[in-house]
Structure 1
Amino acid sequence: MNSSTELLKVALDRHLHGRLPEACELYRRVLAIDPRQPQALSMLGILLMNTPGRAEAESLFLRHLAVVPEDPFTLHNLGRLNHAKGEYGTAVDLFRRAAVVKPDLAPIFNDLAVSLNCLGQRDEALAAVDRALQIDPHYGVAHDNRGIVLYDCHRFAEAIAAQRTALERIPPDARPEQRISILFHLSLSAYEATDLVIAEQACRAILELNADHDEAIVQLGKILLRLRRDVEALALLNQLARRQGLIREGNAEHPEATILLLGGVGASHVPTRYLFDMDSFDTRSLTLLTPDQPDAPLAGVSLEALAEADLVFNLLGEVEKAGGHLETVAAQVLRLGKPVLNPPERVMRTGRDSAPELFGDIPGLLVPGVRRLARDERPEPFAAPFLIRPGGAHGGEDLALIETPADLSAYLDRVPHERFLLTDFHDFKGDRGAYRKYRFIFVDREPHPYHLAIAENWLVHYWRADMGQAQWKRQEEEAFLTDWRQVFGAGAAAVVEQVARRLDLDYGGMDCSLLADGRVLFFEANACMLVHLDDAEAQFPYKFRAVPLIREAVTRMIRSRISRS
């Protein structure tokens, strides 16, 4: 069996029967005889594209196109490889070329929609996924992806409908992971739509399929806490923390340093996914149990295991949602005797209602008044307009603008919390009739620009602002990230620097706006500031120059603290 034709026949048979390593080797033998054999090029590329051999798969597909120009299946596969690399624009071009040749293949349009959505091109993404469903109305994955695009458009009720349809349309013999993925997306959509019954049902369905699905447990805990079913939520989350124990990530072989991340069940944690250079550091994360647990706080993890760390990072960043753990973390830090970033006693000063006292005397900074309200109370006097939120809420969750007593009554009927924070509302509409929220990250008390969200509504959050839809918005954000002091001017820049010093955290940040009179309007300053770099580089190239500087600053700070100790 030496001819390429005979080898190819056997290779295809091995491939068909799942004997993939043998098929791979046989395809290579075919190509050694005939380097331009189209089937061998294509099939070997398909075998390698979901393995560490993706680069070779891409080379094989390009060679295949040199032999069979504009082959739609190879164009499609190349598009999928480029999407996996984050090259969404290239992926879109390849999918569109494939669709010209094969306009009746639903997966091409489905994958085109996914890449377009990653580029923030929501309308085009919906059109593409709708074309996939026009070709194949029973395509469950496409219904799910339609739900994801609708979620990103903040059309949560429609997203729920799409994801429910997806569950109905996936084949009965589909892998459990596929059903779990759709259920998780459904839970997220329902949560944002405040349909917490559906959100809870979706999470519980996931846990029936996989009782140890960590993300679903965390999401269910979040839902139960929002429903004020705290006992159920904490029982779930304590069980998860106990099972996970000490989680180790990063460079475990030759780390520069080992960082211990200490958090607590039921608490709001500082988002750290992007902060630490995992090629340099070994991180060990521990979520402390609630004080009522018999094995609290360490759940069987030894103090000796924790003492292997060189430095402790306190993950508790929100005073209102610290779960009673700040004192416990402080005690553990004391026992360990290690350098600590964001000491608990400093975090205790950073609640929203502490902001007027902490920052209110800074010239050029407008800090809105903040007061507390219990459910059975009514503000006296009724000084509208004001914002209301449950204590500890972030991300706009259950946040509303109150202008009349009727607004307040309707809000309290809708939101089942007992204690709330009221914040005086100052209109900050600016140029183009838009609202702007600037985020700074403070590393070792030095400000770094992170993002600028520009929205048409006062409730400004980056994910709601659709920054990918408007070039002028991205140009403004690029100017801010490139030279924030130039954008703010010397006076406002000095205000930001003073806030960073007053906050006095090793890691934290501030959200604010700039008023027409040059003053800085304070929104919040604390440790729970999200940093990530998940955007498409082709659309937000300036972020890939600015945001890594934050991680580099964190790395320098860690090295400095360890060298001092």
Structure 2
Amino acid sequence: MSYYNEGVDLTKANNHQEAIVHYDKALELNKNNVKALVAKGHTLDTAGFSYKEVVSLYDKALKIDPKCTEAILKKGIVFERVGLYHKAISSYDDMLKIEPENVEALYGKAVSLNSQKKYHEAEFFCKRAINIEPENLRALGSMVWILEHQKRYEEAMDFCDKAIEINPHFFYTLSYKGKLLYDLGRFSEALVYYDRALKLSPKDKRAIYYRNKIANKFEKLKKKPFPIKF
């Protein structure tokens, strides 16, 4: 087995330090090994290294192979996560020039546009993604997020319900349905969905925050004195 393949297995096993050693060995044998550069970048990203270190590896890969779609897409995802939305959109656009129907690039671009409050454009690209893959949970979840930011809660709920119908155990949409119900003031229902979500991801801070907020509302209602009638 090659150093690269062993590195991939180690990355999958979350043994990031050893994986990086193997990718470095693969790169010692061939400094132009694009797969090893991209895999090392992904592993550094997963292990929590700085985004600049991660992006530099993707850039090295792209100097060797400017059409390496994996490096282009992963670069966009990193920029999006750290809030560099203009750079993220640029990467997604590069991806879409090569693969115009790449769903991940379409909804990734939509999310970055939404973060810039360009809601109409965000919705357009997200709809394109959903039209290509109607059951893509990430695309559906992105549309929920885009509509929620516009306070179009009922429309967002429709996409949320569709995603839950496809996969009743997808944390993101269960948690987001809880948030939508919270926004609509339907606190008892929201609590049910947050409880379902937290069974899947017990340490998620956002879900815990809203779940506790709802629980506190109910606790205050219990303590609130009833009006005295004469």
The verdict on a shared fold, with TM-score over 0.5 as the criterion, is yes
Once residues 66 and 155 of structure 1 are traced to their aligned partners in structure 2, the CA distance between those partners, rounded to angstroms, is 44
Unaligned runs of 5+ in 1: 197-222, 229-374, 376-410, 414-565
Once residues 96 and 30 of structure 1 are traced to their aligned partners in structure 2, the CA distance between those partners, rounded to angstroms, is 31
Give the structure with the higher percent helix: 2
CA RMSD of aligned residues (A): 2.9
Measured against aligned partners, the alpha-carbon deviations of 1:260-301 in whole angstroms (never above 9, x if no partner) come to xxxxxxxxxxxxxxxxxxxxxxxxxxxxxxxxxxxxxxxxxx
Query: Any idea what SS the aligned residue of 2:100 has?
Result: coil
Unaligned runs of 5+ in 2: 1-26
Q: CA offset at residue 48 of structure 1?
A: 2.1
Alignment of 1:343-492 (within 5 A): 411-412=226-227
- Hey, what does 1:184 align to over in structure 2? 209
Once residues 207 and 166 of structure 2 are traced to their aligned partners in structure 1, the CA distance between those partners, rounded to angstroms, is 21
Q: Does 1:131 align with 2:162?
A: yes
Alignment of 1:42-441 (within 5 A): 42-170=73-201, 176=203, 178=204, 180-191=205-216, 194-196=217-219, 223=220, 227=223, 411-412=226-227
Q: CA offset at residue 34 of structure 1?
A: 4.1
Query: What is the TM-score of this pair, normalised by structure 1?
Result: 0.32
Once residues 127 and 214 of structure 2 are traced to their aligned partners in structure 1, the CA distance between those partners, rounded to angstroms, is 29
Once residues 196 and 83 of structure 2 are traced to their aligned partners in structure 1, the CA distance between those partners, rounded to angstroms, is 34
Q: CA offset at residue 149 of structure 1?
A: 0.9
Once residues 50 and 143 of structure 1 are traced to their aligned partners in structure 2, the CA distance between those partners, rounded to angstroms, is 21
Once residues 54 and 149 of structure 2 are traced to their aligned partners in structure 1, the CA distance between those partners, rounded to angstroms, is 35
Alignment of 1:1-20 (within 5 A): 6-18=32-44
Q: Which amino acid aligns with 2:213?
A: L
Measured against aligned partners, the alpha-carbon deviations of 1:505-561 in whole angstroms (never above 9, x if no partner) come to xxxxxxxxxxxxxxxxxxxxxxxxxxxxxxxxxxxxxxxxxxxxxxxxxxxxxxxxx
Percent identity for Structure 1 against Structure 2: 22
Name which one, 1 or 2, has greater alpha-carbon Rg.
Answer: 1
Conserved 8 A contact 2:191-2:211: yes
Conserved 8 A contact 1:45-1:57: yes
Once residues 110 and 82 of structure 1 are traced to their aligned partners in structure 2, the CA distance between those partners, rounded to angstroms, is 15
Q: CA offset at residue 103 of structure 1?
A: 2.1
Conserved 8 A contact 1:7-1:29: no
- Hey, what does 1:272 align to over in structure 2? none
Once residues 122 and 81 of structure 1 are traced to their aligned partners in structure 2, the CA distance between those partners, rounded to angstroms, is 20
Query: Any idea what SS the aligned residue of 1:70 has?
Result: coil
Measured against aligned partners, the alpha-carbon deviations of 1:131-177 in whole angstroms (never above 9, x if no partner) come to 1111211112211210111122222221121112212232x6xxx3x
Once residues 211 and 123 of structure 2 are traced to their aligned partners in structure 1, the CA distance between those partners, rounded to angstroms, is 26
Conserved 8 A contact 2:101-2:132: yes
Measured against aligned partners, the alpha-carbon deviations of 1:469-527 in whole angstroms (never above 9, x if no partner) come to xxxxxxxxxxxxxxxxxxxxxxxxxxxxxxxxxxxxxxxxxxxxxxxxxxxxxxxxxxx
Once residues 37 and 117 of structure 1 are traced to their aligned partners in structure 2, the CA distance between those partners, rounded to angstroms, is 34
Once residues 68 and 134 of structure 2 are traced to their aligned partners in structure 1, the CA distance between those partners, rounded to angstroms, is 26
- Hey, what does 2:70 align to over in structure 1? 39
Once residues 76 and 54 of structure 1 are traced to their aligned partners in structure 2, the CA distance between those partners, rounded to angstroms, is 13
Query: What is the TM-score of this pair, normalised by structure 2?
Result: 0.73
Q: CA offset at residue 185 of structure 1?
A: 0.9
Conserved 8 A contact 1:157-1:190: no
How has the CA–CA distance of structure 1 residues 53 and 154 changed in structure 2, closer, same or farther, with 3 Å as cutoff?
closer
Q: CA offset at residue 55 of structure 1?
A: 1.8
How has the CA–CA distance of structure 1 residues 24 and 169 changed in structure 2, closer, same or farther, with 3 Å as cutoff?
same
Conserved 8 A contact 2:72-2:95: yes
How has the CA–CA distance of structure 1 residues 49 and 188 changed in structure 2, closer, same or farther, with 3 Å as cutoff?
same
Conserved 8 A contact 2:111-2:146: no
Conserved 8 A contact 1:11-1:24: no
Q: Which amino acid aligns with 1:10?
A: A
Q: CA offset at residue 68 of structure 1?
A: 0.6
Q: CA offset at residue 187 of structure 1?
A: 2.9
How has the CA–CA distance of structure 1 residues 111 and 71 changed in structure 2, closer, same or farther, with 3 Å as cutoff?
same
Query: Any idea what SS the aligned residue of 1:35 has?
Result: coil
Conserved 8 A contact 1:116-1:124: yes
Once residues 186 and 123 of structure 1 are traced to their aligned partners in structure 2, the CA distance between those partners, rounded to angstroms, is 21
Query: Any idea what SS the aligned residue of 2:44 has?
Result: coil
Q: How many residue pairs end up in the alignment?
A: 196
How has the CA–CA distance of structure 1 residues 169 and 29 changed in structure 2, closer, same or farther, with 3 Å as cutoff?
closer
Q: CA offset at residue 32 of structure 1?
A: 3.0
Conserved 8 A contact 2:85-2:113: no
Measured against aligned partners, the alpha-carbon deviations of 1:432-490 in whole angstroms (never above 9, x if no partner) come to xxxxxxxxxxxxxxxxxxxxxxxxxxxxxxxxxxxxxxxxxxxxxxxxxxxxxxxxxxx
Once residues 58 and 94 of structure 1 are traced to their aligned partners in structure 2, the CA distance between those partners, rounded to angstroms, is 12
Once residues 167 and 35 of structure 2 are traced to their aligned partners in structure 1, the CA distance between those partners, rounded to angstroms, is 32
Q: CA offset at residue 45 of structure 1?
A: 1.5
Measured against aligned partners, the alpha-carbon deviations of 1:209-240 in whole angstroms (never above 9, x if no partner) come to xxxxxxxxxxxxxx59x948xxxxxxxxxxxx
Q: Which amino acid aligns with 1:86?
A: K
Conserved 8 A contact 1:150-1:158: yes
